[in-house]
A and B are shown apart, each in its own frame.
Chain A
Amino acid sequence: MSTISVPVSVPSPAEDCEQLRKAFQGWGTNEGSIISILAHRSGAQRRQIRDSYAQAYGEDLLKVLDKELTRDFEKAVLLWILDPPERDAVLANEALKKWSPNNRALIEIAMTRTADEMFAVRRAYRGRFKRSLEEDVAVHTNGDFRKLLVPLVSSYRYEGPEVNASLAKSEAKILHEKIEEKAYGHEEIIRILTTRSKEHLLATFNDYNNEFGHPINKDLKSDPKDDFLFALRAIVRCIICPERYLEKVIRLAINKMGTDECALTRVITTRAEVNMKHIKEIYYKRNSVRLDHALKKDTTGDYEDFLLALIGQDA
């Protein structure tokens, strides 16, 4: 569930634009005002504000924000204003430009969006970057990672409940066999993890557990430092419970020395309107600390205020 709160009597886009314009004028910028408006508008409202601003002042709001704001706060606000598909496209492109095997953003995006949402991302990517997402993923990755990530971002998984029980069982066996052989990049592992439906995979992971006495991720942890194994485990965890996976991303981002703002911004801006509430609950259960308290300790200034507003915990 969303953690965004929109005021009951919301100002018109024109009024919002006027307030935003005031916030930019004069020396410095009134960040508080910007947050109080933008963090409390839905996607449709934010789009209307962008359009109104362009009409009223002949400028692209995004460009103005780029000029007026700085650093982590700016990055978060710019991502927040975009439509979800465009946002994910921008995040994917960023991730690819500086891709390395321990980059988790692509997997996170590919595994926590629905099949139709992923196609919207691919459409937005083509529109913005004049290339397909998969062609850029292919070019910027290599070896086993390419073999895994290209199908992952290109899949259009079936989303219904039907499961072929005997097939799920046999595929659990196949996964186990290849994992035993340490053939982690084997075609069969990639085929099963990147093309099968979520329901089928849940059944498969269940069968794996029943047949072999422990979860598949235990066997995939033979080398905790191996990035490819991490990627496979991430896929499994996102199938089983995406919110728990995302909670861990946030937890690690906060606990990391110096905080991983990149990951923090990414998860919060992309999930605030989707399932942030659930993620907060898991965070509290797991850490016995509320997410807003953790953020207050770990982040500062306008960036902190903005994140708190997005998770519904401002003022």
Chain B
Amino acid sequence: MDVPLAAEECEAITRAFSGLGGLGVDEEALVSALGKWRHQPEKRAQLRKSFAGFFTADGGFERFEDDYIHYLKIEFARFKNIMVLWAMHPWERDARWANDVLHKAHPFDIIVEIACTRSSEELLGARIAYHALFHRSLEEDVAYHVRENFSNLLVGLVSAYRYEGDSINEEMAKSEAKTLGTAIKSAGVRNLVENGEVIRILTTRSKPHLRVTFKYYREMYGKSIEEDLGDELCLQETVQCLDSPPKYFSKVMDETLKDGADKNTKDALTRVIVSRADVDMEEIKAAYHEQYGAQLEDVIAMKTLGNYRDALLSLVGQ
């Protein structure tokens, strides 16, 4: 539904993004615009293109100037990061999040999230943006900075360019379900993340194929593969992200909205909502409701404040 912006909203965005500091920010109008531009990434692309001084065209995407980001973060301080992230090209967002995680010893689950919940083209886009921003490849940084035993798994995940069609070999899916089951039963779960066959199946097979494989797994072993991977968080998260991003993200939402969540966990709120608003927010809300019996919007409204809250709710949609 293409609801045009009202004149005040247009003006608010133009003023807010034009770098004319000190005039204050019309926060209400901005929040309203966030809502109206849901599911319209082309509108944000136009915004980036119309402020050519602040965004540089760079090999397929419009890159945010670093100084401009810094400036906007201050301007939009009450929105925390939302406005900046919202305006940013998705490829650049993912590249920056990945780079951040690798250099600041954040938990690596963000890497799994990006590698497994984006489409093949979006993941390629993140790699393109990574080159442009950091002058190294994403996989070389993952390989270099991740020294834990799940390093090969992560490198494989970020390097994938999965087939995205419907063609599935049922026999192969069945046999690979067995391969996974055997690996899980026999290996100490700690070694599982280094198991060649486990890595091969999870990092190269198409998502439709994997979903069928996981289905056969449950039929063969009576439990979901997620449950059986309970102790190996990296693998468990990989499987969750590949199997059902909405379910995975609703879990992340639950964690982030709990009392006592640490900063990294809280950052997930902005990250998930900004990155999924145009993708599968409705499914995430439905999954959240099914799992936790509450409306996501209600919980967010309860746990957040001020302009930040308004912006989140605008993106989550009513």
Contact = CB atoms under 8 A, between A and B. Distances in A.
Contact of A158 (B136, B155, B164): B136
A126 interface: yes
A139 B199 CA distance: 12
Nearest to B139: A195
B204 A162 contact: no
Given A119-B161, A158-B131, A150 B140 contact: no
Nearest to B162: A132
Interface in A117-167: 119, 122-123, 126, 130-135, 138-139, 142, 146-147, 150-151, 154-160, 162
A132 B160 contact: yes
Main secondary structure of the interface of A (DSSP, over half): helix
Contacts of B270: none
Contact of A160 (B135, B160, B167, B205): B135
A162 B133 CA distance: 12
Given A132-B206, A146-B200, A150-B204, A197 B163 contact: no
B174 to A, nearest CB: 15
Contact of B159 (A130, A139, A155, A197): A155
B161 A126 contact: yes
Contacts of A159: 131
B283 to A, nearest CB: 25
A221 interface: no
Nearest to A188: B143
A28 to B, nearest CB: 40
Chain B interface extent, by class: 20 to 34
A156 B123 CA distance: 12
Interface in B156-212: 156, 159-165, 167, 196, 200, 203-206
A191 interface: yes
Given A138-B204, A151-B155, A131 B163 contact: yes
B124 interface: yes
21 contacts: A130-B167, A132-B206, A135-B200, A135-B204, A135-B206, A138-B200, A138-B204, A147-B196, A151-B139, A154-B139, A155-B137, A156-B124, A156-B138, A158-B135, A158-B137, A160-B131, A162-B136, A191-B143, A195-B144, A197-B136, A197-B140
Given A126-B165, A150-B156, 18 more contacts: A132-B160, A132-B161, A135-B204, A142-B196, A146-B196, A151-B139, A151-B156, A155-B137, A155-B159, A156-B124, A158-B131, A158-B135, A158-B136, A191-B144, A195-B140, A195-B143, A197-B137, A197-B140
Interface of B: 124, 127, 131, 135-140, 143-144, 151-152, 155-156, 159-165, 167, 196, 200, 203-206
